[in-house]
Amino acid sequence: MWSFQQAAQQIHEWLSERMSAGWALALEMVLAGLMAIGLFAMLGLILVLMERKVSARMQVRLGPNRVGPKGMLQTAADTLKLLLKEGLTPDGADKWLFHAAPIMAIVVSMLLLAPIAFAMDFQLWDVNIGVLYVSAMSSLMVISILMAGWASNSKYSLLGAMRSGAQIVSYELSAGLSVLTVVTLTGSLQISEIIRSQADGWWIFKGHVPVWIAFVIFIIAITAETNRAPFDLAEAESELTAGFHTEYSGIKFALFFLAEYINVFVLCGIGATLFLGGPMPFHIGSWEGLNRIMDWIPSSVWFFGKTFLLIFVIMWFRWTFPRLRIDQLLNLEWKYLLPLGMVNVLLAALIAIKGWHF
């Protein structure tokens, strides 16, 4: 069956025959960058349309239904509108930081794509500390948000940025502990190793109670880290206009908007990899017939299917739960999720040492 690895090998051989090794490597990196940018553009269009359709379905209305068949081109029209709008800079703003903040947000999102395994044989960078790399890079997003809030010279933007800083720094702890639960059971930080450890079953099935607890904590934590409702205090429209990006317009606003959705995709992709096997197909013990059918489905379909399932769950949260107050949000983290996560890691360590997992 055709695979990404086969296609990449053919491109590498074709370039190596026509130019030196250095130029071939440079061109391959350029192609990888262009593929990442293309994936960015496609994900932005798909996820915004998905958000609108999901919210419309949950609110018993139609959603976008004018531009293109069934409103499919609405997000493309909105993108064109943002590209053509004038970008304004407020009086008194720190211009360098104001312009650098959205660029930093999108660069961090692009860096997060590097270790993600989109298929069994397709990964841009299989670094041996892949999980740690993603945790470190995702924490940089708060810097771009603080830069935007401070540089905008607006009280609404500053309040939104300070809320986001407290929120992201707090919930990163619980997200890290939930990830550490799977790392403890796997014994590796390398994403390809974590995927291979689930060849005989996804961790959500064979990891017992600690993995279920870690999975629930992880979903709650990444919802808070990406400033999604009911944890959208950094962008609370009813209180702060638009939060930290109130003063942004045009392409700069589009970059923040795109970075938020890409971060949702990346973190849900990490969740799908750690708990649901990533590109690994669904297998049941000695059921050879079922297992062969599952193997027939391309691994990239498994990865994107699991990732979009988690994205749907996060969107479901948005249109189900009311927004929390800042004190409720922080109490949930420091009084409940963090202690539970610490105990859960100890329980996972006990299971790993005793070998009680399947």
Both tokens of residue 129?
Answer: 């500390």
Query: In tens digits, what is the pLDDT along the chain, a chain of 358 residues?
Result: 445 667 777 888 888 888 888 888 888 888 888 888 888 889 989 999 999 999 999 999 988 989 888 889 999 999 899 888 888 888 888 999 999 999 999 999 888 988 999 888 788 888 889 899 998 888 888 899 899 999 998 888 888 888 888 888 899 999 999 999 999 999 999 999 999 998 888 999 888 899 999 999 999 999 998 888 888 877 666 666 667 888 898 899 889 988 989 999 999 999 999 999 999 998 877 788 888 888 888 888 999 999 999 999 999 998 888 888 888 988 999 999 999 999 999 999 998 888 776 5
DSSP symbol at 245: G
Distance CA 102, CA 214 (A): 32
The string of DSSP codes covering 264-327 is: HHHHHHHHHHHHH-TTPPP--TT-HHHHHHHHHS-HHHHHHHHHHHHHHHHHHHHTTSPPPPHH
| Domain boundaries along the sequence of the chain | 85-354
Dihedral of CA 344/349/352/353: which sign? negative
Q: What is the three-class DSSP state of 118?
A: strand
Per this entry, what is the length of the chain?
358
pLDDT at 138: 87
Burial class for 198, CB neighbours closer than 10 Å (0-12, 13-18, 19+)? buried
pLDDT tens figures, 205-229: 888 899 999 999 999 999 998 888 8
pLDDT tens figures, 173-202: 999 999 999 999 999 999 999 999 988 889
- Nearest 5 degrees, angle CA 201-CA 209-CA 299? 25
pLDDT at 313: 94
Summarize the chain as % helix, strand, coil (round to 5): 75, 0, 25
pLDDT at 148: 92
- Nearest 5 degrees, angle CA 247-CA 251-CA 253? 40
pLDDT at 1: 45
pLDDT at 238: 64
pLDDT at 104: 93
Cβ proximity of 150 and 240 under 8 Å = no
Q: Can you give the pTM of this predicted structure?
A: 0.91
Q: What is the three-class DSSP state of 46?
A: helix
